[in-house]
Chains A and B, each alone.
Chain A
Amino acid sequence: MPRPDVTRPILASVGFAALLAFSQGGAAQAAEEGSPAPVVNGAAQVAITLTGEAGGTCALDHAEAKAGPVTFTVTNRTATAITEVELMSGSRILGEKENLAPGLAPVSFTVTLGGGSYEVYCPGAKVETVAFKVNGAVATPTGATAAILAEGTKGYARYVDGMVLAMVTAVDRLKADIDVGDLAKAQAAYARARPFYERIESDVEGFVLPGFKPTDNAGNLDYLIDMRASNLDPAVGWHGFHAIERDLFRDGRITAGTRKLAAGLQSNIARLGKLVPGLTYRPEDLANGAAALLEEVQSGKISGEEEAYSHIDLADFAANVEGARQAFAFLEPGMKKIDPDLTARVDARFAAVDKLLEGYRDPTAIGGYIRYTAAVKAADAVKLSKAIQALQEPLSRIAEKVATAG
């Protein structure tokens, strides 16, 4: 079982005081003070038992262990209020088990612990934290999982930078096609530019131009680039991708106004191109960003609101999902250490969404997917929404895990 980070003690020469208590017998529930957990196959064995007693009880059979590998075996006998157990060091999660419910077989996790004070956290129990002590050499935390996650965020930053660069180029192309007045080419260029924004939308939101108040849409870069007809601010007017979409797809013509819009979009995208490469991300930013992209799918794409004139909503849909998947993929090596079960569930749901989207591919269509017409929406919106919902719930649990990873 992959395990996080606390180093194996180099010296095992200290901390034997606990041996003095070896002879104590034990009541099943109460942790035996001073009696270290027995070692089997090199790992100290600690049983955690959850019961419904006293409004939810989380009991350890041994409250301390010798430094080294420790295996916690969790059995939920009758505790309906407790579904998770975590081993914490300070605010860091070192190991955990979830989906605990009465009747299921016991589950276990193993961590290698150095000497020090730990806590077993049982959210929902009457007393939620139980102290756990490890005797022996104090480990120097290497932060292995945290380091893996941090490495992932750097990789993700490179991905975002790449998307922004490609978006700048794609929007330059769009402007060029609009300037020469080639409607068909401009429509295709529009559809090629959109997915870059949709993949990283959660990272490029929220920029305010210098000299503007945060509440003034005239200085809100996201407003200027991506505003839809449904949320217009009359004081600022319509700018950006979707105003261009209206001209190209609804009106089917390129006017002086369209050229002006394209010039504005080009300059705002260029601004993003300068702002984004300096950004750094925490692991929870990736997780929260992925969740936000899936919210975008639910609120804008499945409703067909995003691309009301071009109907390339499914291309945007795929781009949102791709962006979320990339963020998750960069967390995955760390997540596999923290919670392999949750990681597998999220993986399976991404795969299911991909498989579903595969059925809508059409290489001959603008955007690479069939047009999301009223008829397609009426027939398939529920199916699409359910696949995303099934991904959203497990994905929403990730941010907490990576934010507290040890």
Chain B
Amino acid sequence: MTDETNKTTGARARLSRRGLLIGAAGSAAAAAALPGAARAAGMAPGELNPDLSYPFYGAAGQAGVMTPPQRYVFFMTFDLTTDRRRDLQVLLARWSGAIAQLMKGETIGQVEPSRPDAVGFDTGEALSLGACGLTVTVGLGPRVFTGTYELAERKPALLRALQRLPSDALRPELTGGDLSLQACADDPQVAYHAVRDLARIAKETGAAVTRWTVMGFGRASAGKGQATPRNLLGFKDGTRNIREAGEFDRHVWLNEGPAWQRGGTFQVVRKIQMHIENWDTDRVSDQNAVFGRHKLSGAPLTGKAEFDTPDFAMKKPDGAPVIPDNAHIRLAAHENNGGIKILRRSFNYTDGINQYGLLDAGLLFISYQTDPAHFEALQQKLGAADALNEYIAHIGSGLFFVPPAPREGSYIAEGMFAT
């Protein structure tokens, strides 16, 4: 797996034709040598590179998992509206072709058709914006694998509905879905356009309609080579995230089961509302105790620098643990969870102001793992005891199987239809 999965990192980022034409950067070799794709394009860190693009087709996992998190996400789930197997095949094939176009920064068809009675294939709002590092990742929900589509036998062994977890406050309208699209890009309009036009294809083929969606910003989980970003509580998030290819192979990518599942992974999505105003009026020492870290530096309360390993045994003079028993990082740490690690690829979101006049915002938590039970085990613990629970609520949820990337000439999950 390692050789293949490596290709989905930023090292696989390439310059588009346009990038080469305007001489924006050095060689592809330079691009491959640096983890930060923006830097590879000869740009200052943090500068937007519209020509950054990732390949859709490949021999390993889909893009958008190992890819260094982009700045924005547009995540959407869909309900299947057909009982015909072929409609599902056509949808996955049309989506795959369209995603391949979009990830190159190209349209999915005519914007202004020459025939006056035609409707545009592509809605046009991303014209000339570039690919902006777009990745679109397709997930399959449990209901795909039913007798309706003659796919009951093809269900990934570990796919099922997530179990009910402590502190769940899930709203039905923000939960579930038969298909998921995670579109990430450095320009929000590029991500929006991708999902919008893919949703049109879903409806046009008669296969699916939209269910729930979240637009996220400010990548809230670090990838390899990225400085750790902050969530809306102001704390660094993802300091101990999975970064190395070996960890991906162990904790993210499936390497057994039928061939069409290998290189796949399970996607857990949670919409986590934050009680922003209450948090903002909480004294900083309590905030630090809730996380178990210092807000500014990100250092564990037992250390001095962000990447210092937390010392969960360290006690204060009065005998109490320095990192409290119910601190977020203690409960989530792999040392305290039998070595369980999950890849977090979350984003912040806002829905404006809620019916009570409070800021309606939070975290679109997205994780990838080899087994949904790994997320459940962690959340079982966090949901029951996390000091953070006073300030958050899990209001939306979804679980999807993310098949590996298709090879050119094929489409997402084509292998599961093989008879």
Contact = CB atoms under 8 A, between A and B. Distances in A.
A76 B90 CA distance: 12
B94 A400 contact: no
A80 interface: yes
A101 B90 contact: yes
Given A288-B117, A400-B113, A104 B408 contact: no
B204 A397 contact: yes
A393 B409 contact: no
Chain B: interface residue count, which band? 35 or more
B414 interface: yes
Interface in A382-406: 382, 386, 389-390, 392-394, 396-397, 399-400, 402-404
Q: Which of B82, B100, B110, B204 has the most CB of A within 10 A?
A: B204
A149 to B, nearest CB: 13
A81 interface: yes
A124 B81 contact: no
A390 B206 contact: yes
B189 interface: no
A382 B115 contact: no
Interface in A257-305: 284, 287-288
Contacts of A403: 115-117
Contacts of B411: 101-104
A73 interface: no
A80 B411 CA distance: 10
Contacts of B409: 77-78, 102-103
Contacts of A348: 82, 206
A76 B409 CA distance: 8
A123 interface: yes
Nearest to A123: B110
Given A52-B408, A284-B117, A394-B204, A103 B96 contact: yes
A287 B117 contact: yes
B239 interface: no
B199 to A, nearest CB: 9
B101 A81 contact: yes
Contacts of A78: 408-409
A381 to B, nearest CB: 12
Interface residues of A, number: 36
Contacts of A102: 93, 96-97, 408-411
Interface in B216-272: none
A316 B118 CA distance: 28
Given A287-B117, A397-B119, A390 B97 contact: no
Interface string A121-147: 001100000000000000000000000
Nearest to A349: B206
A150 interface: no
Contacts of A392: 203
Contacts of A123: 109-110, 113, 121
B350 interface: no
A80 B100 contact: yes
Contacts of B100: 80
A104 B203 contact: no
Contacts of B81: 352, 390
A99 B90 contact: yes
B117 A80 contact: no
Interface string B123-166: 00000000000000000000000000000000000000000000
B96 A101 contact: yes
B117 to A, nearest CB: 4
B94 A83 contact: yes
B196 to A, nearest CB: 12
Nearest to B115: A400
B406 interface: yes
11 contacts: A78-B408, A101-B90, A102-B97, A103-B96, A124-B110, A284-B117, A349-B206, A389-B210, A394-B204, A400-B113, A404-B117
Instruction: Give 10 nearest A-B pairs by CB, closest first.
Output: A101-B93, A393-B203, A400-B118, A399-B117, A103-B411, A80-B100, A80-B97, A393-B204, A101-B97, A403-B117
Interface of A: 52, 76-81, 83, 99, 101-104, 123-124, 284, 287-288, 345, 348-349, 352, 382, 386, 389-390, 392-394, 396-397, 399-400, 402-404
Interface of B: 79, 81-82, 89-90, 93-94, 96-98, 100-101, 106, 108-110, 113, 115-119, 121, 173, 200, 203-206, 209-210, 406, 408-411, 414
Given A76-B97, A102-B411, A390-B206, 13 more contacts: A52-B408, A80-B101, A83-B121, A99-B205, A102-B409, A104-B93, A124-B109, A124-B121, A284-B117, A389-B209, A393-B203, A400-B117, A403-B116
